[in-house]
């Protein structure tokens, strides 16, 4: 058995099947919402988030004292599965921010911030990347200057690609608090309320038509000491915890979505036999293999979580696999379903466009390969030739 092998033993957590039945019954009574005309995708998902929370379906593996249900990662996965299987929008993608707060926030902050985050009362965004600091996050220059009386900070700088900041109440912000120490010891995290004076949010339009990204300008923004998450200099570790959870394959909601699309592709191939060349048929076959590999990975990550193992650099493997699966699936889908492309705006076309971003968000594919080489395979850095 190699150091990467994890036995797939899920045990038999009590009540898992009952939980699935409860969710199916709840979904039968609470039909899936329709997106209203003129409702932005983010607003629609927020409405769904709040509805799910009202039924008790958000934060299943978060302790009860912080607004969750105190169950396990396996219960969370079961909820994602059930939602995906009935074509519901997925669970809100807040798990990785919640994990960062669980690990680094003080008891008072966890009790105050997490229940509102899970309920959707406060929407959060992630303020890590900057115009000159994406892959090389450690080179960020946003600076939080500590006040002489030690009670707070004044923050100046700019963040970029801050997803959905225009709909958010809080930003999990990284800033440098010391310009002299090495980068990895001088970055600090803050829970910044976005209505604070000096914060300007400017949305940017993406290729799929969504206003997902934002620029965030911070001009003499005052942040109190009690809004700091963790100690000064903990920000780098917090960032790595956040991205490890962001990259891993535990959110199976999108897997159900892939599975449903694959079923549709297989159905088309059978219904229109002879219309497709062998290359396209084998491309669908490759998508099926990608999908099955991802399902196996998701089971493996679930087993790790149940064994109490935190997400680590192996999440980079998941991120690469998810990126390949998603990009290949939507490329192939457009070839099998050309009408979707002609409709320009069909659901599959929208997903295809968004899949292009998978090799960039949460860290690019090149960076994931670097992490695998250095942290998992422990390969030496490439030597420079003079
Ligand atoms: C849809 C989407 C949502 C996002 N949401 C957020 C968000 O909410 N919050 C946030 O903080 N950020 C967010 N990001 C930003 C994302 O994390 C960065 O875009 C990403 O880390 C890459 O940084 P960059 O864009 O500055 O590219 P660069 O770092 O400038 O990279 C440019 C190219 O150089 C390559 N490269 C760079 N360094 C190396 C190296 N050492 N070895 C090999 N190749 C290298 C990269 O792989 C890439 O191909 C989002 C991005 C996208 C696409």
- Which atom of ligand 1 lies closest to the CA of 206? 1
Query: In this predicted structure, what is the pLDDT of residue 4?
Result: 42
- Report the run of H or E that residue 352 belongs to, with start and end: helix 347-355
* pLDDT band with cut points at 50, 70 and 90 for residue 12: low
Question: Is 246 in the active site?
Answer: yes
Q: Is 252 in the pocket of ligand 1 (CB under 6 A)?
A: no
Which residue, by CA, sits nearest to atom 23 of ligand 1?
Answer: 134
Tell me how far apart the alpha carbons of residues 111 and 65 are, in angstroms, rounded to a whole number.
7
pLDDT greater at residue 155 or residue 244: 155
Question: Catalytic one among 82, 232, 246, 326?
Answer: 246
Question: What is the 59 CA–ligand 1 centroid distance (Å)?
Answer: 28
Any idea of the CA torsion for 199, 112, 75, 42, to the nearest 10 degrees? -30
pLDDT greater at residue 245 or residue 369: 369
Query: In this predicted structure, what is the pLDDT of residue 81?
Result: 82
* Least-confidence region, from 35-49, 200-214, 334-348: 334-348
Q: Which of 42, 96, 128, 135 to mutate to test the pocket of ligand 1 (most atoms within 8 A of CB)?
A: 135
Q: Which of 97, 158, 161 to mutate to test the pocket of ligand 1 (most atoms within 8 A of CB)?
A: 161
Is residue 343 classed as helix, strand or coil in its secondary structure? Answer: coil
Which residue, by CA, sits nearest to atom 26 of ligand 1?
Answer: 134
Tell me how far apart the alpha carbons of residues 382 and 254 are, in angstroms, rounded to a whole number.
36
Query: In this predicted structure, what is the pLDDT of residue 275?
Result: 87
Q: Averaged over 113-134, what is the pLDDT?
A: 97
Q: Is 355 in the pocket of ligand 1 (CB under 6 A)?
A: no
Question: What is the 367 CA–ligand 1 centroid distance (Å)?
Answer: 9
Query: In this predicted structure, what is the pLDDT of residue 3?
Result: 45
Q: Averaged over 42-71, what is the pLDDT?
A: 94
Q: Is 312 in the pocket of ligand 1 (CB under 6 A)?
A: no
Which tokens hold the place of 386? 């003079």
* Residue whose entry in the numeric block shows the structure tokens 């799910």: 52
Q: Is 357 in the pocket of ligand 1 (CB under 6 A)?
A: yes
Query: In this predicted structure, what is the pLDDT of residue 11?
Result: 56
- Strand pairing of 170-176 and 124-127? parallel
H-helix segments, 169-275: 235-247, 253-271
Which residue, by CA, sits nearest to atom 24 of ligand 1?
Answer: 134
Q: Which residues have C-beta within 8 Å of that of residue 39, sequence separation ≥ 6?
A: 47
Q: Which of 134, 238, 367 to mutate to test the pocket of ligand 1 (most atoms within 8 A of CB)?
A: 134
Instruction: For the chain, list the domains and their CATH numbers.
Output: 16-92 (no CATH), 124-234 (2.40.110.10), 248-376 (1.20.140.10)
245-285 residue pLDDT tens: 888 777 656 788 888 899 999 999 999 988 888 899 999 99
* Residue whose entry in the numeric block shows the structure tokens 């491309």: 283
Tell me how far apart the alpha carbons of residues 92 and 98 are, in angstroms, rounded to a whole number.
11
Question: What is the 161 CA–ligand 1 centroid distance (Å)?
Answer: 9
* pLDDT band with cut points at 50, 70 and 90 for residue 1: very low
Tell me how far apart the alpha carbons of residues 269 and 284 are, in angstroms, rounded to a whole number.
9
- Which atom of ligand 1 lies closest to the CA of 128? 11
71-84 residue pLDDT tens: 988 888 888 888 88
Query: In this predicted structure, what is the pLDDT of residue 141?
Result: 96
200-238 residue pLDDT tens: 999 998 877 778 889 999 999 999 999 999 999 999 999
Residue 292: name the closest of 329, 330, 338, 264 by CA: 329
């Amino acid at each position: 058995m190699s150091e990467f092998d994890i036995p797939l033993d899920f045990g038999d957590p009590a009540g898992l099947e009952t939980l699935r039945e409860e969710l199916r019954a709840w979904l039968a009574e609470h039909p899936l919402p329709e997106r209203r005309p003129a409702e932005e995708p983010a607003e629609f998902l927020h409405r769904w988030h709040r509805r799910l929370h009202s039924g008790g379906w958000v934060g299943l593996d978060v302790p009860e004292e912080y607004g969750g249900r105190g169950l396990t990662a396996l219960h969370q996965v079961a909820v994602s599965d059930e939602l995906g299987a009935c074509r519901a929008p997925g669970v809100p993608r807040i798990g990785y921010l919640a994990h960062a707060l669980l690990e680094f926030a003080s008891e008072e902050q966890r009790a105050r911030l997490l229940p509102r985050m899970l309920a959707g009362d406060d929407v959060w965004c992630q303020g890590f990347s900057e115009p000159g600091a994406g892959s090389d996050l450690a080179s960020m220059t946003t600076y939080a200057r500590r006040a002489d009386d030690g009670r707070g900070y004044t923050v100046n700088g700019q963040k970029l690609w801050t997803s959905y900041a225009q709909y958010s109440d809080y930003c999990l912000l990284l800033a440098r608090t010391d310009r002299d120490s090495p980068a990895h010891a001088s970055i600090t995290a803050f829970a910044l309320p976005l209505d604070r004076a000096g914060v300007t949010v400017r949305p940017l339009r993406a290729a799929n038509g969504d206003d997902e990204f934002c620029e965030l300008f911070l001009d003499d923004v005052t942040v109190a000491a009690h809004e700091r998450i963790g100690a000064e200099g903990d920000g780098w570790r917090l960032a790595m915890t956040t991205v490890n959870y962001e990259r891993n394959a535990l959110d199976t909601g999108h897997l159900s979505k892939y599975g449903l699309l694959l079923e549709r592709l297989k159905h088309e191939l059978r219904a229109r036999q002879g219309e497709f060349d062998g290359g396209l048929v084998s491309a669908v076959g490759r998508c099926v293999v990608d999908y099955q590999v991802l399902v196996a990975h998701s089971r493996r990550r679930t087993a790790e979580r149940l064994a109490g193992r935190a997400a680590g650099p192996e999440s980079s493997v998941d991120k690469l696999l998810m990126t390949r699966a998603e990009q290949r699936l939507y490329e192939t889908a457009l070839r099998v379903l050309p009408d979707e492309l002609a409709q320009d705006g069909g659901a599959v076309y929208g997903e295809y466009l968004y899949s292009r971003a998978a090799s960039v968000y949460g860290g690019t594919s090149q960076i994931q390969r670097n992490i695998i080489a250095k942290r998992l395979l422990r390969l030496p850095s490439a030597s420079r030739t003079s």
